[in-house]
Structure 1
């Protein structure tokens, strides 16, 4: 609020939140033997029977750990999830402990420079960096992050969305014939038609898989569990099979070498709005800004934060940074509040006409990603856009005064979606003005 003046699934596709019948995830133990999937796709079931629920799918050439055998079923483990598969679709191999050499998938870096971090989080410590075009074996996956050996003997985590995943040649030499997509983000929209303006018919969580019927432009037509079909944007999923991986066009191309100033609202003694559950606006604006900062930096943009910590900064100083760096875009990030706790939703603001297109682009993309209630884009008499000679916009990303919305705004899923929406909005803005 201002005062006037944001699961890699590689060789296994795991359903979100797979658990044992006892309700706990299974940890891997010492292997008894190694097996390789010899079919195109293979269901992993919770129990050794075809009537048991499917908890994942293995693809041809995937290496798994075999623990036990029961009749014609094998108990296997991959990525810390254990289940049962039909034994005739597994070729036994001698154990091999070299994970790097045995990985069935590699990832090629698509960002100019990509930070490698100590843990699977944008808030974790950077260990080093890798550059565009380099490929690494995928060693482990967690929450849409992957672990790589970025230099000899040194390991770290990178975001899956900045890697192009490719299968290495399997020993079976068998190509995958059927294609499956895997949802990458929680709450992804499945639509009635291949268009972002089409009605949403259901929402899918990260890790859920669907078989692909065909590709229409940048959309996959998929089979739904109710027997009907739907459409999902190709840049929101990963695909395993003979259909092409769709990458959202233009993002890096239009963001590369752009200068962007991000302004996390409030800070220090100025807490901004405070939610009913105690959420402080100044903390949430910094969190969103840091997520967006990392995405833009990885895409090759020159990015600056008006503040990097919980510090107070005068409004004039924030504006001066936009002038000093000759910013191509200035985005002030805020969260709203109202005495009426029932009010919720997102609003975009501009002051001058030359700022309106930026505000519109940011708003449309972000409202599409977050699915907040829309209050539209409007004129706003706020110092950081009124006194700004650069193209600038102020975004109010939801109401902390609404208890239910406050919980949503605090979630990792919302933060990721908000950062992704702002990122895509910037790309769309620069694409449209060129």
Structure 2
């Protein structure tokens, strides 16, 4: 029972609550420090909202607003999330400022300690936004997703909180040469924007603007669009006979690769080399790399048989993409609906990632004239037998089931290709070799796999496990825009090469 006096007080409280603002805006200089080991960051101010990611003790974030017991914070990539206020320490000193940065190297190792001899805890790709915590000599302590480590400061463009200049488009004036077989042109600088056209390897365009790692080009007279900047070679001058390359290393991706006396397939073979062998490039002549062998001799290796580091373009064998025209390809993004598949350390669902990869690959294949069917085009569940039936009903020339792996041992990493029937092996090997070469992932090889979608498939079918979501460092890589485009480009090239060599 409640007394009259208490009822009067309760009424006043209810009136106050009714007219109280739902959220309090907070000055940009206010921040919080995570004071608990693992804190869930959610999509809204309540436990019923979905988990976005996990943040960790010691990390600092600027406050966007407060609502009741919940605080909205801003992450390095501009995304926001909510956490409960009793798991953090609030700081209101106006001098406190969170710095962000953007990776300006193709790939950048995050190390456990500020030393080149320290173990690698993650890899970042060009254009990735990171949070900067501290500096020691020429090293920066940074955070991305749930991983924290040290990188060389030269490879990070620092941006102070509130400074948006690095996120705005800027005039460029460079000439970009397309280095991918088929490159999607999109309506805005995002993988999620609409596909409005395609350009092909060797085409040259003036770069009108750049936004993060995207470039705006005039792909047709009077028509402008955005392409992934990591597939443009921005050097403007080349000679017809050769191009000098500094500190470029190529790595062989196939056993028994020929090293020839001259830069063409008619030249004599002077040596053979195997997967993993690395060579320093002295020159590029047409589509061939000139290298110096251990005994001092000069040799030439076909550019489409290697992977390459640095900013130089990956050379691909011309013309193979033409063999995709009128081919019927079925893409099978694994899982979906109630079946989430593997879940990454940061909360990435396999079902979402496989669909994203399938859509990117579909864009490239359709641009080359292939007939493409996707077993699911949204977040829906489809039985395994139905996926196989789609391949059979369309008499598919190739069926590719896309997956991302998981393991109880978080250090496990790499890409694996699977086939079940012997008539599927050549397709699996071609797609796998090209995708590993394009993405530079750790190779776990092509194996026999007893999976329903390839075992019960009468068509040429493969299953690709493109990386491990259970590995924190690898999750960062495979969810990046750069990896997704490279994986799609690799599978595209592997399919094209398979049809070229098997017809």
Where on the TM-score scale, by shorter chain, does this alignment land: which range?
Answer: 0.5 to 0.7
The CA distance in 2 between the partners of 1:104 and 1:143, in whole Å, is 15
On the 8 A contact 2:230/2:482 being kept in 1, the answer is no
On the 8 A contact 2:413/2:474 being kept in 1, the answer is yes
| Greater relative contact order, per chain length (Cα 8 Å cut-off, separation 6+) | 1
Bigger CA drift: 146-155 or 414-423? 146-155
Aligned residue for 1:199? 277
The CA distance in 2 between the partners of 1:298 and 1:258, in whole Å, is 12
The CA distance in 1 between the partners of 2:439 and 2:382, in whole Å, is 29
Judged with a 3 Å threshold, the aligned counterparts in structure 2 of structure 1 residues 162 and 305 are, in CA distance, closer, same or farther, namely farther
Aligned residue for 2:449? 380
Higher Rg of the two aligned structures: 2
The CA distance in 1 between the partners of 2:290 and 2:176, in whole Å, is 23
Judged with a 3 Å threshold, the aligned counterparts in structure 2 of structure 1 residues 260 and 176 are, in CA distance, closer, same or farther, namely closer
- Per the alignment, in what secondary structure is the counterpart of residue 369 of structure 2? coil
- Which of 304, 313, 321 is matched with 1:252 structurally? 321
Aligned residue for 2:460? 391
On the 8 A contact 1:107/1:138 being kept in 2, the answer is no
Please give the per-residue CA displacement for 1:396-423, whole angstroms capped at 9, x wherever unaligned: 1122222232222222332233222212
Judged with a 3 Å threshold, the aligned counterparts in structure 2 of structure 1 residues 279 and 200 are, in CA distance, closer, same or farther, namely farther
The CA distance in 2 between the partners of 1:107 and 1:219, in whole Å, is 19
Aligned residue for 1:420? 489
On the 8 A contact 2:288/2:300 being kept in 1, the answer is no
**CA drift at 1:330:** 0.2
Q: Is residue 263 from structure 1 mapped to residue 332 from structure 2 by the alignment?
A: yes
* Runs (5+) with no aligned partner, structure 1: 1-14, 18-24, 26-53, 56-78, 82-98, 169-173, 203-209, 223-228
The CA distance in 1 between the partners of 2:315 and 2:440, in whole Å, is 22
- Per the alignment, in what secondary structure is the counterpart of residue 332 of structure 2? strand
- Per the alignment, in what secondary structure is the counterpart of residue 388 of structure 1? coil
Aligned residue for 2:283? 213
Judged with a 3 Å threshold, the aligned counterparts in structure 2 of structure 1 residues 349 and 136 are, in CA distance, closer, same or farther, namely closer
- Per the alignment, in what secondary structure is the counterpart of residue 316 of structure 1? helix
- Which of 177, 182, 190 is matched with 2:250 structurally? 190
Cα RMSD over matched residues? 4.7
Please give the per-residue CA displacement for 1:223-282, whole angstroms capped at 9, x wherever unaligned: xxxxxx999975789xx9xxx996532331222222111110001110011122212111
- Per the alignment, in what secondary structure is the counterpart of residue 344 of structure 2? coil
The CA distance in 1 between the partners of 2:242 and 2:210, in whole Å, is 23
Aligned residue for 2:365? 296
**CA drift at 1:359:** 1.2
On the 8 A contact 2:327/2:397 being kept in 1, the answer is yes
**CA drift at 1:388:** 1.2
Q: Is residue 433 from structure 1 mapped to residue 502 from structure 2 by the alignment?
A: yes
The CA distance in 2 between the partners of 1:108 and 1:416, in whole Å, is 14
On the 8 A contact 2:181/2:316 being kept in 1, the answer is no
The CA distance in 2 between the partners of 1:344 and 1:106, in whole Å, is 34
Aligned residues: 315
Judged with a 3 Å threshold, the aligned counterparts in structure 2 of structure 1 residues 338 and 165 are, in CA distance, closer, same or farther, namely closer
Q: Is residue 342 from structure 1 mapped to residue 342 from structure 2 by the alignment?
A: no
- Per the alignment, in what secondary structure is the counterpart of residue 156 of structure 1? strand
**CA drift at 1:326:** 1.5
**CA drift at 1:314:** 1.5
Judged with a 3 Å threshold, the aligned counterparts in structure 2 of structure 1 residues 253 and 393 are, in CA distance, closer, same or farther, namely same
On the 8 A contact 1:111/1:300 being kept in 2, the answer is no
